[in-house]
Structure 1
Amino acid sequence: MKKRTIKAVCAATAFTALAIGPLTTVVAEEVRVPVKSQAERSSQADLPRTGMSQSGVRDSWGNPLQITGPVGDPPISQWHYNDFVVYFEGDRVIHAVLKPRR
């Protein structure tokens, strides 16, 4: 009786592996960024700081090239400049990031 149970479990496991195997294929892309390159550029760049108002950003950096949003709740918007993007929650900066160099 034990031999039949073990054979049945092995057969079921093998069938499941064959049936599911092709469905679990994973494809990934590796992105390589030089260590510290973004951090070094960010520390050297003059970017808006967290908590600044939209009017403060506009006064210091001028009008953005493009505005995206607001989207969601809380409302998040993006202001795109030549070299960086500023993210706002409502009227306040939550993050500013450099655009990749081309």
Structure 2
Amino acid sequence: MLKFKPFVSTIAIAAALASAAAFQTAHADSLLMKRVQQEQGMDLPKKGMSMADVERRYGAPVSKLDPRGGGSKQQPVINRWEYPGYIVYFERSHVVHTVLNTPAGNNTNPGQTR
């Protein structure tokens, strides 16, 4: 019977880890849904707007971050403009996405992302 105890412990640990991972995934999904709902209720630059349209409607950005990509047709230049509370991503010169800065972390200091 002693032979099976380590195996039983391993199963218990694996089950606990799987349960924790499922909880984290559900929590992350919930946060993402709240973020999307929040974004939809705000007046943010919309997909397809030109840089000139964004600047005309929302004013000058706090900063224009260094462009990324542009190495090929499949990897066009991505420009990022930082506004208070959100970042606008442009493919070449048109908006592809606007993302809120969140205290959760992945978008609070985009200038350091490489």
Where on the TM-score scale, by shorter chain, does this alignment land: which range?
0.5 to 0.7
RMSD: 2.1
C-alpha distance after superposition, 1:31-87 (max 9, x if no partner): 854712101211111111111000000011000001112221111110000011000
Partner of 1:97: 99
Given candidates 41, 54, 75, the residue that maps to 2:51 is 54
Runs of 4+ residues deviating >3 angstroms: 30-34
Deviation per residue, 1:16-37 (Å, 9 max, x gap):
xxxxxxxxxxxxxx68547121
| Percent identical | 32
SS in 2 for 1:93: strand
Instruction: Name the SS of the counterpart of 2:102 in structure 1.
Output: coil
Q: For 1:64, what is the secondary structure of its paired residue? A: coil
Structure number having the greater helix percentage: 2
CA distance in 2: counterparts of 1:91 and 1:66, whole angstroms: 16
Higher-Rg structure is: 1
TM-score, with length taken from structure 1: 0.64
